[in-house]
Structure 1
Amino acid sequence: MRGFGELETEIMERLWARGRPTSMREVVDDLNRTRPIAYTTVTTVADILYRKGRLRRHKEGRAWLYQPVRSREEYTADLMREVLGESHDPRAALLLFVEGMDAEQAAALRAVLTEGAPRDGGAA
């Protein structure tokens, strides 16, 4: 797993924000509010995300509706685990990561470490 490309990120962000199966027409219309982009470009990238296993889709009428396979938080946690796993010195990487946190992030980490992760999948 790696981070998403620019357009992949924009598509994923819109799908996560909607929280429901969404057509690429809706995503394209949303993207076109900030910049022009071709429908075929967005559908091609959505298909790539589907083939990578990042999106699920089902057909409704003539349109494919897409939805992320994992939540934004699950994706972020997976990405963090992958990056940490690639470190030659995980302890040093964690130390540098924690040193770069702002006060709110550090408080959230302390809460998770002392109280445990929430069981409902919500944020700490």
Structure 2
Amino acid sequence: MKMQSFKLRETGLNRFFGPLEARIMEVLWSAEAEMTIKDVQLKLDEDKVMNFNTVMTVMNRLVDKGILSKNAESRSSKYKPVVTRDAFMETQSKELTYDLIEQFGPLAVTHMVDALDKVDPELLDQLEQHIKLLKKDR
């Protein structure tokens, strides 16, 4: 699932989601089981009072976006993420990388390599090893 927007000036999940969507996803990703809207609302209420209908609307929008699945059970529905947090971040980072390279070509690659060296020199070594493996498999 490719997210339709990416907010450059935000951090973490807020780059892909609105603030409430991000909080809801964190609650659901940290849960060990499916949760009802009420369950999520109660978890969110630990921070501040959250309206049930607002939580319901946002969760159903996340279902429509393909981020959550909804399982109807008797009088209430249970929700769970379609993928793990790690799988979501993996997919989004891959999509962003492809988009950057498609739009900016060699400039994007050059800037990524420069950023690796500035952020964590060990990542540059990992990249070098990965490139060697890719070349070997050709």
Alignment TM class, shorter chain as reference = 0.7 to 0.9
User: Aligned pair count?
Assistant: 113
Bigger relative contact order, structure 1 or 2 (CA pairs below 8 A, ≥6 apart): 1
- Deviation, 1:113, is 4.6
**Are the aligned partners of 1:84 and 1:93 in contact in 2 as well (CA < 8 Å)?**
no
TM-score by length of 1: 0.77
- Deviation, 1:72, is 0.3
2:99 maps to 1:81: no
Distance 2:118 2:62 in 1: 31
Runs of 4+ displaced beyond 6 Å: none
2:61 maps to 1:48: yes
| Aligned counterpart in structure 2 of residue 16 of structure 1, from 20, 29, 36 | 29
2:78 maps to 1:62: no
TM-score by length of 2: 0.70
Taking only aligned residues, the RMSD between alpha carbons, in angstroms, comes to 2.7
Distance 1:23 1:38 in 2: 14
Unmatched runs of 5 consecutive residues or more in structure 1: 117-124
Q: When you count helix as a share of all residues, which structure comes out higher?
A: 2
| Aligned counterpart in structure 2 of residue 91 of structure 1, from 109, 112, 116 | 109
Unmatched runs of 5 consecutive residues or more in structure 2: 6-15, 134-138
Over 3 Å counting, the alpha-carbon distance change for 1:77 and 1:62 in structure 2 is same
Match of 2:8 in 1: none
**Based on CA coordinates, which of the two structures has the bigger radius of gyration?**
2
Over 3 Å counting, the alpha-carbon distance change for 1:97 and 1:60 in structure 2 is farther
- Deviation, 1:96, is 4.5
